[in-house]
Homo-oligomer: A and B are copies of this chain.
C-alpha cells in the first residue's frame, strides 16, 4: 500500500472512531486513561527496550547530547508520564457541559453545548512523553488523534501506541482513537495535513521550521505558535526587590522555553536603582546582556544591542535590555517587536496595571508575576497540548476545554419562523 493510502486509511478510521468517541461517556474514557497510566509502568521494560534502540540509533547518527536527553526515557520519566495521564483522567470532562442557556421571546430555550472537535492531527518532535500527554488530552476531550512524532523516537512511539491501544480496547473504545503513523518518512506530514475530508484541525509543536511548513501546506485549520518573545516592563513605581525576583525567575529558571523573558524594558525613572544590581545578578548567573545605549551607560559590560536582538527569541541565557522614557514607549516596543505570547508589568501603580492589562495584545498578560506562568497547568487548565498565538479558536495555552467546540442546542414546542 502506498504511504498516501495508508495515512488516508488511518484518517478514515479515525473519523469513524470519532463518531463513537463523541458519544462515549466520561467514565469509559477515564477507565481507558487510568489503564493507560497503569500500563505505562507495567509495560516499562518493553517501552524502555524500544527507547534504548532509538537512543542508540540517534547517538550513532550524531544527535547532540541535549537532543539525546530529550529522547531518552527511564523509570523516573515513565513515572512522570503515567502521573500526567492520571491527572488528565481526574480533570473534568468538558464534553456535554452547557455554557449558558437563555430563553427567546418566542419561548425557544437556546444553549451552547461543548462537543469534541473531531479528529486531530498532532505533529511534534522527539520527546516521547508528548505522545502520551497528547493522546490523553485528546481522549479526555472526546477527540481521536493521529500522531506523527520525530523520526528519532519512532520505536518509542510505536511502543507507546501499543500501550494506548490496549487501554482503549480494555475500556471498549475503538483502537483507532489513538494512532501513531508507523513510518519515519517525512512526507507523512505533508500527506496528513492535506486530509481536509477527515481531519478537523492540525496542531504542530516544535521548531519554527516545522510550524511554518505545516501552516503553509495544511488544508485544514492549524493551531500553533511560532515563538515567544516575552517582555517584562519594570515601571518606575515597581518594588525593586519584587521586580528583581520576578525578572530573574523569568529569565533564568528555564531559559530554553517559550515563556522565558527575552527582553527587559525598564522605565528610566527607576533605571538608576533597579538596573545595576539586576544586571549584576544576571551577570553572575551567566546571562549575556545586550543593552540599548542607556543600558550601556549604567552597565558598560553589556554588549551593544543591534536591531535583530529586539525581535529575537534567544531560548538561552541572553537578555535584551532597553531603558524607556515612559509606559507609552514600552507599549510601543511590545507592539512592534512582541510575538503576542506573554508580557508582564511590574508596578505598584493601579492605573498602569489596568492600562497594561487592557492594552497589551498577548495571549497572557500579567501584573507582578513571572512570564513563566504561561502554561496550561500553571494557569489552572489542568494540562496543555500547546500554546496558540493566533487568536482564532483559543488564544494562549490549550487544555481539554480548548479541544472542544460548542454547538447550539434548542428546545422548542413547535416554533416556526414568520
Residues of A with Cβ closer than 8 Å to B?
A: 19, 22-23, 96, 102, 104, 108, 110, 113, 115, 117-118, 200-201, 216, 219, 221-223, 239, 242, 245-246, 248-250, 253-254, 335, 353, 357-359, 361-370, 372-374, 378-380, 390-393, 395-397, 405-418
Give the nearest-CB partner of A379 in chain B. Answer: B110
Known A391-B118, A407-B365, A408-B379: A23·B373 in contact at CB below 8 Å = no
User: Complex: how many Å from CA A417 to CA B373?
Assistant: 7
Known A108-B373, A414-B368, A416-B370: A408·B201 in contact at CB below 8 Å = no
Which of A117, A221, A245, A359 is most buried by chain B, counting CB atoms within 10 A of its CB? A221
By a CB distance below 8 angstroms, the chain B residues around A104 are 378-380
- The SS class assigned to the A binding surface is mixed
Among B110, B353, B361, which residue has its beta carbon within 8 angstroms of that of A380? B110
User: Complex: how many Å from CA A113 to CA B367?
Assistant: 14
B200 near A390 (CB under 8 angstroms)?
Answer: yes
By a CB distance below 8 angstroms, the chain B residues around A23 are 358-359
Give the nearest-CB partner of A388 in chain B. Answer: B405
A407 near B361 (CB under 8 angstroms)?
Answer: yes
B22 near A361 (CB under 8 angstroms)?
Answer: yes
A10 → B minimal CB distance (Å) = 20
By a CB distance below 8 angstroms, the chain B residues around A108 are 369, 373
B410 near A379 (CB under 8 angstroms)?
Answer: yes
Give the nearest-CB partner of A346 in chain B. Answer: B414
User: Complex: how many Å from CA A242 to CA B390?
Assistant: 46
By a CB distance below 8 angstroms, the chain B residues around A407 are 361-365, 395-396
Known A358-B96, A379-B104, A396-B407: A391·B249 in contact at CB below 8 Å = no
User: Complex: how many Å from CA A357 to CA B412?
Assistant: 12
B409 near A365 (CB under 8 angstroms)?
Answer: yes
User: Complex: how many Å from CA A221 to CA B96?
Assistant: 27
A222 → B minimal CB distance (Å) = 8
Give the nearest-CB partner of A108 in chain B. Answer: B369
Report 30 cross-chain contacts, Cβ distance below 8 Å, ordered by A residue: A22-B359, A22-B361, A102-B380, A110-B379, A117-B391, A221-B392, A242-B414, A246-B416, A249-B416, A250-B416, A253-B417, A253-B418, A363-B408, A364-B408, A365-B408, A365-B409, A366-B410, A367-B410, A368-B411, A368-B413, A368-B414, A369-B412, A369-B416, A370-B417, A372-B417, A373-B412, A373-B415, A392-B393, A395-B405, A395-B406
Extra contacts, 20 of them, besides A22-B359, A110-B379, A245-B414 (Cβ < 8 A), are A19-B361, A102-B380, A115-B391, A118-B361, A118-B391, A216-B219, A221-B390, A246-B414, A246-B415, A246-B416, A361-B407, A363-B408, A366-B409, A368-B411, A370-B417, A373-B417, A378-B417, A379-B408, A379-B410, A392-B405
A411 near B367 (CB under 8 angstroms)?
Answer: yes
B117 near A369 (CB under 8 angstroms)?
Answer: no
A112 → B minimal CB distance (Å) = 9
By a CB distance below 8 angstroms, the chain B residues around A372 are 416-417
B242 near A410 (CB under 8 angstroms)?
Answer: no
Give the nearest-CB partner of A219 in chain B. Answer: B216
